[in-house]
Amino acid sequence: MQVRFSYAERAAYCKNALAKKLFLLMDGKKSNLALSADVTHCEDVLALADKIGPEICILKIHVDILEDFDQTFPLELRKLADKHNFLIFEDRKFADIGNTVKLQYEKGIYHIADWADIINAHSLPGSGIVSGLMEVGLKKQRGLLLLAEMSSANNLFTKDYAMQTLRMAEQFPEFVIGFISQQKLSDDPGWIYMTPGVQLQAGTDVLGQQYVTPEIALVKHQSDIIIVGRGIIKAEDTLAEARKYREAGWKAYNVNCAK
Ligand code: S5P
């Protein structure tokens, strides 16, 4: 089995300050769990953030599914992120030309750049998408993930697309922190891989989502962070369930970690 550097060691390879911070946060907090808080009211996101916050390294949201978004929401979320020491990831999946994504990131109702530590984007439109987002995010010390693969059935991603996405990321190491992917893509220890489509039992949902277990994602596929949504938020006891995922994630990380 391939031995890997610890998260703490990998911090030294990051060219982006936020990526470094995330690796050290994961190491210090002993968590490689990201919660996907896919609920549609602000108070429900905030309640999850307060309850599950101590267990996670990242809280991921879709701000555009909130029915009652107002400008106090990001401020409240930031307070909880500081209180519990996690990063905020807006799963916006930008996918347009550089000039448009720049506006979508900075302007509109949400002002995503003002509060999201991490955002993600498709590489499909070409490197202008990264340049556009970087014009806004770099000075605010934000980080970008590129989608190299997706978890959904019958998706159009290919191995070649993932490799070209990696090549694109390599052009912007000061802003791109890693990938949304199902597996590790490169031997450079500075990239962070986040894998969605994770539940304690492998399976599918009725709309084509495909789940692997934390062990498959982190040991077999050498990813770094498990992103878990309904596996936790639909549980009767969300905190107890989050703890199970956190434990499973940390145990899986330690299987092939060098330290
Ligand atoms: O390939 C992907 C990429 C993402 S970011 N597959 C995904 O499922 N996601 C997101 O992860 C998706 O938008 C959702 O917010 C979360 C998975 O949620 P779950 O409830 O299926 O765990």
Using the CB atoms, write b or e for 221-253: b if 16+ within 10 Å: bbbbbbbbbebbbeeeebeebbbbbbebbbebb
* Cα distances (Å, whole numbers) of residue 190 to 8, 173, 183: 11, 9, 15
Ligand 1 centroid, distance to 259 Cα (angstroms): 30
Residue 127 buriedness (CB in 10 A; 0-12 / 13-18 / 19+): middle
Contacts of residue 250, defined as CB under 8 A and 6 or more positions apart, other chains included, come to 30, 31, 32
- What are the phi and psi torsion angles at 154 (to 5°)? 60, 25
Residue 110 CA to residue 81 CA, distance in Å, equals: 18
pLDDT surpassing 80 at residue 1: no
**pLDDT tens track for 143-179:** 999 999 999 999 999 999 999 999 999 999 999 999 9
pTM of the model: 0.98
Residue 48 CA to residue 195 CA, distance in Å, equals: 20
Active site residue 234: no
**Helix (H) or strand (E) run with residue 83 in it:** helix 72-84
Residue nearest to atom 6 of ligand 1 (CA): 151
Q: Categorize the per-residue pLDDT at 259 as very low, low, confident or very high, splitting at 50, 70 and 90.
A: low
Indicate the residue type of 158.
T
**Helix (H) or strand (E) run with residue 145 in it:** strand 143-147
CA angle (47 as vertex; 42, 53 as ends), nearest 5: 115
**pLDDT tens track for 127-138:** 999 999 999 999
Residue 122 CA to residue 14 CA, distance in Å, equals: 21
Average pLDDT in the chain: 97
Give, for ligand 1, the residue of 33, 35, 38 to mutate: max count of ligand atoms closer than 8 Å to Cβ. Answer: 38
pLDDT surpassing 70 at residue 258: no
For ligand 1, residues with CB inside 6 Å are 36, 38, 91, 150-151, 180, 196-197, 209, 227-231
Q: Categorize the per-residue pLDDT at 256 as very low, low, confident or very high, splitting at 50, 70 and 90.
A: confident
Domains of the chain: 7-255 (3.20.20.70)
pLDDT surpassing 90 at residue 227: yes
Residue nearest to atom 18 of ligand 1 (CA): 229
Residue nearest to atom 3 of ligand 1 (CA): 150
Ligand 1 centroid, distance to 200 Cα (angstroms): 15
